[in-house]
Structure 1
Amino acid sequence: MWPSRSRTETVTCLSCGEQVARSAAREYDKHGDRWDREDKTFEYLCTPCHEALCRQPRDELEELLIESEAGNIDQEAFLSGYLALVEERYGTLEEES
């Protein structure tokens, strides 16, 4: 008989926090290289959250989030810092009338 896999039966969706069966979840690799599995752990998304993902390029997003201390400060401080960084690097967003 084959040895059992060391996979968890349920995983937590990184977006909504729901517990879902591993077989119903989608692997998420923030580095975009899900095929290189050596020494890597994956995060997971439930199907509805995976389908709602934006498929636009996210160049530099991870760096912006780290620089603006995402997850380490309160939401108001994060948002004002993030907006300041974005405006510093890319200019202000102008509303179209």
Structure 2
Amino acid sequence: MWLSRTHTETVTCLACGEQVSRSKAREYDKHGDRWDRDDKSFEHLCKSCYDGLCHYPRDELEGLLVELEAGEATRERFLSSYLETVEERYGTLEEES
């Protein structure tokens, strides 16, 4: 029986930079579809960084970021337009008690 490469491969967590064995890491797909493996390469997160992620669906997020010129607009302009656009499209976020 062949040894799996996941037992010996080391990957780097994209969030904190820690190097961990592949078997102790989680796959990350920025498109939110880690199950469709055709022609994909994945980045990885250590378990503690993965646990800290928001696991809610992020449909439309990439398009919204492009539309609002994330990375191009000033921080203040981007955050202001992001909050305004999200409230217009999805309503206000109410905190849970």
The TM-score, its normalising length taken from structure 2, stands at 0.64
3-state SS of the aligned residue for 1:53? coil
Instruction: Measure the CA separation in 2 of the matches of 1:93 and 1:28.
Output: 26
- Deviation of 1:59 after TM superposition, in Å, equals 2.8
Task: Give per-residue Cα distances to partners, 1:38-84, cap 9 Å, x unaligned.
Answer: 22121221211111222323232222222222233332222112112
Which amino acid counterpart does residue 82 of structure 1 have in structure 2? Y
CA distance in 1, matches of 2:45, 2:38: 21
Shift in alpha-carbon separation, 1:11–1:34, aligned structure 2, 3 A: same
Query: 1:9 corresponds to which residue?
Result: 10
Identity %: 59
**Residue correspondences, number:** 89
- Secondary structure at the aligned position of 2:19 is classed as strand
Residue identity opposite 1:9 in structure 2: T
Secondary structure in structure 1 of the residue aligned to 2:56: coil
Note the residue ranges of structure 2 that are not aligned, 5 or more in a row: none
Question: 1:27 is aligned with what amino acid?
Answer: E
Structure 1 regions of 5+ residues with no counterpart? Answer: none
Task: Choose 28-37 or 86-95, whichever is displaced more.
Answer: 86-95
State how far apart, in whole Å, the 2-side matches of 1:85 and 1:47 are. Answer: 33
- Aligned residues of 2:11 and 2:44 also touching (Cα < 8 A): no
- Amino acid across the alignment from 1:10: V
Find the counterpart in structure 1 of residue 61 from structure 2: 61
